[in-house]
Amino acid sequence: MKMIHGNIWKFGDGIDTDIIIPARHLVLPMEEMKKYAMEPLDPEFAGRVQPGDVIVAGRNFGCGSSREQAPAVLKALGIKAVVAKSFARIFFRNAINLGLVVVECPELADHVQTGNVIDIDPVAGKIRLPKQALEFSGSKLPDFLMEILAAGGLIAHLAQRG
């Protein structure tokens, strides 16, 4: 898998799926829906985020609903990875199924601000902050989940396997 290099958007603890994408927008076509990502916390997020950016957050990221639109809107906006202190179970699985890199790292969020630059090696679970010259070890996925992620998601993975 490719190394990820991007700018950070930082969020706090308990970012739930109603923040990532409020339920009233779930029926919109994706191109419309993605404009409302993170709207309750930061209405300008979707307009300002750049392809290649990375979200860094606190505990229990993605808690709440099973809506796959949550990782899907982040992916549609070009977010390349979410690094959180911990993830809610369903969000974590949905993200992998869509090919969105998710890394658990309990320390990172306490050392970064929005706008900092980050490098991630998804395979090794290594995270580097080049400006601060800091390195962190994040979670590594089991091989079979890494295969799904590397294929770009579950559907692509199933197609590859035939």
Choices 2-10, 87-95, 105-113, 131-139 (CB under 8 A): range interacting with other proteins? 87-95
Instruction: Give yes or no for residue 67 binding other proteins (CB under 8 A).
Output: yes
Choices 74-82, 88-96, 105-113, 119-127 (CB under 8 A): range interacting with other proteins? 88-96
Residue 56: phi and psi, rounded to 5, are: -120, 130
Which x/- pattern, by CB under 8 A, does the window 99-138 give for other proteins?
Answer: ----------------------------------------
Are residues 101 and 120 in contact, defined by beta-carbon separation less than 8 angstroms? Answer: yes
Among 53, 54, 93, 116, binds other proteins (CB under 8 A): 93
Instruction: Give yes or no for residue 34 binding other proteins (CB under 8 A).
Output: no
Among 8, 88, 118, 149, binds other proteins (CB under 8 A): 88
Choices 45-53, 94-102, 117-125, 128-136 (CB under 8 A): range interacting with other proteins? 94-102
Instruction: Give yes or no for residue 97 binding other proteins (CB under 8 A).
Output: yes
Give the number of other CB atoms < 10 A from CB of residue 23: 12
Return all residues near 101 (Cβ < 8 A) that are at least 6 apart.
1, 4, 80, 81, 82, 95, 120, 122, 149
What are the beta bridge partners of residue 82?
55, 102
Nearest approach, Cβ of 6 to other proteins (angstroms)? Answer: 24
Binding site for other proteins (CB under 8 A): 14, 16, 18-19, 22-24, 26-29, 39-41, 59-60, 63-69, 71-72, 86, 88-90, 93-94, 97-98, 153-155, 158
